[in-house]
Structure 1
C-alpha cells in the first residue's frame, strides 16, 4: 500500500508539472512576436518577470523599440558555465487560410499545441524557462552555472545575438545548447549561410547585334554556374551537399536591347570544411578571371549581405557524450541529425575554437515556417525531463 501511495503521489506530481509547463508554453505562444511586425521585447519582458518571480536573476537587454533580449543567470555549485539559448521571434503567419486554427492563438488538440512558433521555437524556449523557474523556486542549485539567453531577431539578421556578444564573452562556456527544433534528436551539425550579391556591369547594344555588347545577365549567370559547381563539391555525412541558388535577379532594359547591368542574389548553404571567407574569396577570384577574359569590358562587384558559419560538435565533446549516455541508459536511440537552416549559433560562436554547440529541442524541423505548425506535448514534457536529468538538476524538494 505504501509503494502504491508513493507511486500515485509521483504520478500526480508529474501531472501537475505538465499542467504548469504547458500553461507557460501557451502564455509565451500567445504573445505575438512576428519578426518585423511585432514587439519582440514583449516576450523578453514576460520571461524576465516570470523568472524574477521564481527568484532567478534576470534582466531585459533593450536594443530598440521593438527588439530586446532576455538574459538570466542561475549560479551553480561550480563556476563551469553552460549556455542555454532560444529565440523570441517567429516568422510571419503566411496565408492564414491554409491554417486550420488561428496561428496567433495557441490551440491544444490531440496531444499537440498549434500556433506559429510552437515548433520553431517557442516550445524549446518555454521548456528552458520553465525548468529554470522550477529550480529557482525550489532553492536548489544545479551542478553548473546556467546562463540563459533569449535572443530577438534570429529569423532575420541576428540583431539579438550580435548585441549579446557586445557585452558577454561566451568563449569560456563548456556548452552552448540551442533549443531549436530537432524532434528531441541530437543536432550535431548545422549548415552555414552566405547571401552574396553580384552586381554585373556590361555594355548595351541593339538586340539584333548582341556581339557588339556585353550581356550582363548572361555573364552573371555564367558566374553563378561556376560558383554552384565549386560549392557543390563539398559534402557532409549528415548535412549532405553544400548548395548555391539564385534567389533574386534583376536586369535588362528592353526586349530588344542587350542588358548592360544585372543584380543577382545568391543563397549559399555551406557545410563544415568550407568557410564564409572561402566562399567570398572564391567568388571574387572567379569574377576577376572573368574580367580578364573580357579585357575589363565586364565588371563585377561582390557584396556579402549575410555570412554565418557552419557548425559541428565533435564526437569527443564531453556534453555530447553525456547526452548519448543518457539516451543509452534509458533505452532510447541516440540518432544524430544535421540542421540545414541557420541559427544564432553561427553568431554566438564566431570562431570554431569557441564554445561547442549542440542543437536540441522538442519541435520538429519539418514544421518550421509552415501552416498548422505544432509541437507534440509528449516531446515537450520529455524535453524538460531530459534537460533536468542531464544537467543533474534536482528541483523536487
Structure 2
C-alpha cells in the first residue's frame, strides 16, 4: 500500500478531475475505494451510470447504531482560467494553503473523512458507533448520488448525519432549503399605444414576484435570517409596440425551516388569484416546482450537537454555530427523517466556493481530521 501523509492524500484527490457534467466521477470514487481497501476497510463502489458512482465504506463499531459521514465527489467547473493565479486542476501550496478547484468545496472535507476512516482501521480503533462513509456524486446539480443512497437504504436507522461541507470549522446546525419555482403568466395583447386594452403578462408576473418576496420576508430564523427570493430567468414580450400576453419567470427561493414548499405555493396561488379576479379572469397563472430541497435544523439541545461543541472547545476552536445558506446533499439524505440530527462542518470556507483561486487552509484541514477522531 502506498502511504500518504494527510497533505499528500488531499493533493491526490484534488488532482483527480471531477467537474460535474464534464468528468467521469467514477474515477475519484474508485481511487477512494482502492485507498480504503488498502487500509482494510469494507468498501464498495456503487455505479449508477457511465459517469456517476457513489462510494460507500463501513467501519464497525461497538454499537450497531449507525452514524453517516457524507462528502460529495464532484466540483463545479473551473470558470475563466484567466481569473486564476494557479492552475485549478493542479493543487498548489502557498502560505499554508492549498489552491485548486474543490479545495474548499469540498474535497478537503472529503479527504479528511476518508483519511480519518482509513487511519482508524489501520490502528485497530473501534468507534463507539458504526460509521458509514458515503461519498456521493452529482451534488452540484441534481443530487443523483444522494437519491440513490436513500433508495439503497443507507440512511435507514441513522442516528447522525455529518456532512463535511465548507463551514470554516464552525458548526452548521441549520441549512436553508431551496425551491426553484417556475411561474407562467398569460394575459392579453394589445397595441403598445393602448396598454389599458391589454393584460401585461410581464408586469403582472413582476407584481406577483414582488408580493411573494414581501410575504416571505416576514419569516426570520436566528441563524439563517430571512428567506431570499430572486428572479433568475425571464422570457416574455413580442415586439416593442405590443403588450406581452405571455411571460415565464424562474424564481430561486432559499427557504428557512418555518416555511414549507406547500406554504410557498399557497401564498403564490393566493396572490395570483387576487390579480386574476382584478382582471375579470383574463390573467391566468401557473406554478411548477422545478427543484426542491428542504430546510434543515438540528435542535439546540441535541446530544450530538452538544458533543460537537464540547470537542471543538477541547480543540480550542470557537464551537460557534452557523447557518448554511446553500443547499447540500443533507436535504436529500435527511428527507422524511424529522428527528435525525444533521451537522454540517468542514475545513473549507463557504465564501470561496465556486470562485477562482479557491483554497483551503491546511491547518483547518488537519483540525478536521483531529475532530473526527475525537468525536467518534
TM-score tier, shorter chain, comes to over 0.9
Equivalent in the alignment of 2:214:
229
SS in structure 2 at match of 1:240: coil
CA distance in 2, matches of 1:159, 1:133: 26
**Is 1:360 matched with 2:332?**
no
Gaps of 5+ in 2: none
1:207-218 counterparts in 2 under 5 A? 207-218=192-203
SS in structure 2 at match of 1:199: strand
1:249-268 counterparts in 2 under 5 A? 249-268=234-253
What is the CA-CA distance between 1:51 and the residue it aligns to? 0.9
What is the CA-CA distance between 1:211 and the residue it aligns to? 1.4
Equivalent in the alignment of 1:395:
none
Match of 1:113 among 77, 86, 98: 98
1:121-144 alpha-carbon deviations (Å, 9 max, x no partner): 000000000011112222331111
SS in structure 2 at match of 1:134: helix
SS in structure 1 at match of 2:104: coil
CA distance in 2, matches of 1:314, 1:354: 9
1:139-174 alpha-carbon deviations (Å, 9 max, x no partner): 331111001111111111111111111111525211
How large is the RMSD of aligned CA atoms in angstroms?
1.3
1:1-397 counterparts in 2 under 5 A? 20-351=5-336, 353-391=338-376
What is the CA-CA distance between 1:57 and the residue it aligns to? 1.1
The number of residue pairs the alignment matches comes to 374
CA distance in 2, matches of 1:381, 1:169: 28
Q: Quick check: 2:149–2:155 contact (8 Å CA) kept in 1?
A: no
What is the CA-CA distance between 1:45 and the residue it aligns to? 1.2
1:102-135 alpha-carbon deviations (Å, 9 max, x no partner): 0011111211100000000000000000011112
Deviates more, 1:115-124 or 1:50-59: 50-59
What is the CA-CA distance between 1:354 and the residue it aligns to? 4.1
CA distance in 1, matches of 2:124, 2:311: 25
CA distance in 2, matches of 1:379, 1:330: 11
Q: Quick check: 1:172–1:355 contact (8 Å CA) kept in 2?
A: no
Equivalent in the alignment of 1:7:
none
SS in structure 1 at match of 2:55: strand
CA distance in 2, matches of 1:266, 1:187: 26
What is the CA-CA distance between 1:329 and the residue it aligns to? 3.3
